[in-house]
Structure 1
Amino acid sequence: MLTIYGVYRSRASRAYWLAGELGLPFVSVPVIQGRRVDDPLAADAPLNTQSPDFLAVNPTGLIPCIDDGGFVMTESLAINLYLARKHGGPLSGQTLTEEAEMLQWTMWAATEVEPHAVKIILTLDANAAGSEQGRLVIRGAVKALKKSFQRLDQHLAASGHVVGGRFTVADLNLAEVFRYAMSQPQLFEDAPHVKAWLDACQSRPAFKAMMEARQAEQE
């Protein structure tokens, strides 16, 4: 049985979405981020990333983490590549070349897109978007993201998908990274293929089910 550690309001959303796409049964262990708890080590604190019980599973103290029949793995995007590869089907690479492209695009998103996009999310979460410093951070992130948006836009123009002309784990991984920039509509207006692609990804039943669970969680 697959166990997914992490609340839906975290990068664990990626693993929950993929599990839904694959139709995988799983157990959800809602580990919350330690920074969201006043005293993460208090006796009555909810299970969080600093809890000894969680650190015994994942010493890095990061979510998500999975336990797949005794195989423990971290790093959300890598987890998705592993689960897609293990269970096969159209979401996985059908050839060595497709697998390589999925890895390439996922690593590109992790290194070139997410570091900037996450600054937008963190600024919004801190209610700092209206401050001078917050505006500067978001403006800088948007400027840095323009090149990546244009690269993906040009790539999607051919088939509307990242790899293989169909929805795959590569689309899911990138969609979850690009979602962090959704508060900046100009980026998407300047990259219409990216906008259409993200809308299509987020119209999938498994994404909607994940977001429904995410929204049901307490802040």
Structure 2
Amino acid sequence: MITLYGVHRSRALRCIWALEEMGLAYRLVPVMQAFRLADPAAPDAPFNTRSADFLALNPAGSIPVLEEDGVVLAESLAINLFLAQRHGGPIGAADPAEAARIAQWTLFAATEIEPRSHAILMNRVQLPPDQRSEAKVVDAIAALRRPFAVLEQVLAQGHPVGGRFTVADIALAETVRYAQPAPEAFEGAPHLKAWLAACQARPAYRTILARRDAEPAL
């Protein structure tokens, strides 16, 4: 049995998405982010990323963490690459070349997209209004122009790997999603917008999004 530690309102969402797309049986163990709690060390605090038992799994104190047959693995994108390699299926690689391309676009998502798109999410949505910086949003949008232009060119031909939806799409879609609070970032990128809408319309994604919306925002 696969066990995933995390909550939907975290980067665990991309791993839950992969598990649902693969149709794999899994157990989700809720682990609250410590920063959401007034005192994560309190005796009545819920299981969280600073709990001793969780730190034994991941000393970095971050979610998600996956356990399967003695393998303990952290970092959401690494988890998805592992799931794709171990369980395969349509969203995994058909051959070593596809595996390399999936890794390529996963790393592109992590390095070129997420740092900039996450800044948009934080400063347009997640931070308290008095802590937000529109200047940081402007800078992030400017920094996304080149990687978004790359994606626009690639996605004009279809999915980035193998002409079908793969875990590379999950990595990209979940990092691009963070930029959606800034619609202006998508100007001149019709293929990127259409691809993202198609990814987010998939039944597995709609299912996990409903679960995410049902979780307390805190």
TM over 0.5: yes
Q: Per-residue deviation at 1:141?
A: 0.7
Structure 2 counterpart of 1:136: 135
Structure 1 counterpart of 2:192: 194
SS at match of 2:57: coil
Separation (CA, whole Å) in 2 of partners of 1:127 and 1:193: 33
Separation (CA, whole Å) in 1 of partners of 2:120 and 2:185: 13
Structure 1 counterpart of 2:127: 126
Structure 1 counterpart of 2:111: 111
Q: Per-residue deviation at 1:122?
A: 1.8
Structure 2 counterpart of 1:156: 155
Q: Per-residue deviation at 1:60?
A: 1.3
Separation (CA, whole Å) in 2 of partners of 1:122 and 1:181: 10
* One of 180, 183, 205 as aligned partner of 1:182: 180
Structure 1 counterpart of 2:89: 89
Q: Per-residue deviation at 1:181?
A: 0.4
Q: Per-residue deviation at 1:112?
A: 1.1
Separation (CA, whole Å) in 1 of partners of 2:109 and 2:6: 21
Structure 2 counterpart of 1:61: 61
Q: Per-residue deviation at 1:51?
A: 0.9
SS at match of 2:133: helix
Separation (CA, whole Å) in 2 of partners of 1:114 and 1:175: 10
Separation (CA, whole Å) in 2 of partners of 1:8 and 1:205: 16
Q: Per-residue deviation at 1:56?
A: 1.5
Separation (CA, whole Å) in 2 of partners of 1:24 and 1:213: 17
Separation (CA, whole Å) in 2 of partners of 1:33 and 1:121: 17
Corresponding residue pairs, total? 216
SS at match of 1:43: coil
TM-score scaled by length of structure 1: 0.95
Could you tell me which runs of 5 or more consecutive residues in structure 1 were left unpaired when the two chains were aligned.
none
Partner deviation per Cα, 1:25-78 (whole Å, 9 max, x = no partner): 111111111110000111111111111121112111110100112210011011
Separation (CA, whole Å) in 2 of partners of 1:190 and 1:66: 38
Structure 1 counterpart of 2:213: 215
Give me the CA root mean square deviation.
1.2
Q: Per-residue deviation at 1:108?
A: 1.1
TM-score scaled by length of structure 2: 0.96
Q: 1:14, 1:172 within 8 Å by CA — same for their partners in 2? A: yes
Structure 1 counterpart of 2:33: 33
Q: 1:120, 1:138 within 8 Å by CA — same for their partners in 2? A: yes
Partner deviation per Cα, 1:83-135 (whole Å, 9 max, x = no partner): 0111111111111111111101110110111111111122221133x77x611
Amino acid across the alignment from 1:16: I
Partner deviation per Cα, 1:3-31 (whole Å, 9 max, x = no partner): 01011000000111111000111111111
Q: Per-residue deviation at 1:185?
A: 1.0
Structure 1 stretches of 4+ moved >3 Å: none
Separation (CA, whole Å) in 1 of partners of 2:47 and 2:81: 27
SS at match of 1:103: helix
| Identity %, equivalent residues | 50
